Every structure is written in structure tokens, then in C-alpha cells.
Amino acid sequence: MLRTLADTHVDAHCELDFRTPLELAVATVLSAQSTDKLVNTVTPALFARYPTALDYAKADRAELEEMIHSTGFFRNKASSLIGLGAAVVEKHDGTLPHTLDELVKLPGIGRKTANVILGNAFDVPGITVDTHFGRLVRRWGWTGLEDPVKVEHAVGELVPKRDWTMASHRVIFHGRRVCHAKKPACGACTLAADCPSYGTGPTDPMLAAALLKGPSRPRLLELVGLPADVVPPVEAAIGTADEAPAPTGTEDQDAP
């Protein structure tokens, strides 16, 4: 399944835009109960206004709240960002730390967020158990556990450590694009032959094709032998509104 996921989602990556570890930390705080796409519209101006941890520590709360308002929970997130900046300045000389133990002690940074930062900013392998990841590994029978930390450790026993970060991206990509919560695209899924939950969603290829999402949709169709220009049947798309961006990859990281 890991090999199939790697072949399926060759474009898997962290979908939050960032240039530095601090920027990724800030973006993950903002992504709680929001979407990566929305966060990416907010962060360019935010990163320009607050380039350092000290800038967040000294930020005017009203101005910061206004800049991040559209991401939701903006008051709590502003508190987290101001506290994060202050803690990084006071305890780490203004440089974001790069160990799990140190990161989880920072305001707004929980274990899931820390693993995102470690894996994508510091190349330290980490498993990110977000909403999609937990749902899919249970659906696939990799674990029956619900607690995110227990899921992280259970999957960590199955997946080589060197692959933890990319495996997380690929599972999350699959959850966003193919294996939706209420109506997975079973009939257009590259994992169909190995999935113990095959049949949870429509198995008819044309009906399932309508459920595939994202910019890689043409390639996903090609991988299962369907024409890239297939027109999604209207009836298959009905009822997929509940699959709008949910807390994900990083989107549900450690909600404030």
C-alpha cells in the first residue's frame, strides 16, 4: 500500500507555503480548523509584517488579529503567535528549536504540529496524525486505535522511519483527493485491490470518478484506466459538499 501511495501521489508535499521553520510554525498554528489554501492567502502579508520571533512577541494584538481574522479562532491564534514569539525569543534566542520535546512546550504547538515542523522544516522524520490520516489508517486496518499519539506510534511500527514524513503526506493527499470521509471514490482508487474497506463508497468507476478531487485528478483517472477527460455524472457529485476542506494534513493541527 505504501508503494502504491508513492506511485499514486508523486506530488505529495506539505501544502502550507513557507520559507523558514518559523514561518511553517506560524502557518500550522493558523491552519487549526482552517484550510491550507486559506492560510496561504493570509501568510504572505503576515510573514512580511512579522519576519522574526521578536516581531510576533512585540506584535500589536489588534493588528495581528485583523491580519489573521479570516482563518477563524483569530483571538486564540493571536495569543498563540504572540506567546510563541515570546517563548522562542526568551528560551531559544529567537531561533525555533528542532526537537519534539522543545517544540511541544511552545504555545500553540502540539505533537501533530511539531511533527509537521520537524518533517518539513528540519528533515526529521515524523508522522502527522490529522483527521484524514487517522481516518484512513483505521479504514485500511493499519490500526484500530483512535488516540492520535497511539495511532502515531502504531503506524510508526509499520512504516520505516525514513518514510514517516512522506508517508504522512501521501496518506493525507489520498484522504483529500480520493478516500473521502462519507463517500470515498472506491471504484477509482489505486488501492482498491488491497483495501479491506473497498465498497464503502461507489465501486462503479464512472460514479467514483466524479468524486476525485484536486489538480492531479487527470492523472488519478489515468492510473485506474479511465480517460482524463471523463465528465463526472451529476448524480455522483451530489452529496459531496460535506467533503469540503475539513481539518486536514495540517489543517486540524492542535486547535487553539
Nearest alpha carbon to residue 151 among 136, 173, 166, 170: 136
DSSP-derived 3-state class of residue 183: coil
93-103: pLDDT as tens digits: 999 999 999 99
The pLDDT value given to residue 150? 97
**Which pLDDT value is given to residue 230?**
76
Rounded to two decimals, what is the model's pTM?
Answer: 0.87
pLDDT of 252 reads 44
CATH 1.10.340.30 domain extents, the chain: 21-121
Q: Given this model, what pLDDT does residue 249 score? A: 38
Which residue, chain included where needed, has cell 471504484? 187
Q: Which CATH class is domain 21-121?
A: mainly alpha
85 CB burial (10 A radius; 0-12, 13-18, 19+) = buried
- Of the candidates 155, 157, 136, 112, which has an alpha carbon nearest to the alpha carbon of residue 14? 112
- pLDDT for the residue numbered 229: 80
Tens place of pLDDT per residue across the chain (256 aa): 999 999 999 999 999 999 999 999 999 999 998 999 999 999 999 999 999 999 999 999 999 999 999 999 999 999 999 999 999 999 999 999 999 999 999 999 999 999 999 999 999 999 999 999 999 999 999 999 999 999 999 999 999 999 999 999 999 999 999 999 999 999 999 999 999 999 999 999 999 999 999 999 999 999 999 988 876 644 444 444 334 343 333 444 454 4
Distance, in Å, from the CA atom of 200 to the CA atom of 196, rounded to the nearest integer, reads 10
The reported pLDDT for the residue numbered 77 is: 97
What pLDDT is attached to residue 236?
Answer: 45
Instruction: Write the pLDDT tens digit of every residue in 22-37.
Output: 999 999 999 998 999 9
**Separation of alpha carbons 10 and 216, rounded Å:** 10
Rama region for 123: left / alpha / beta (φ>0; ψ in -120 to 50; rest): left
pLDDT of residue 228: 80
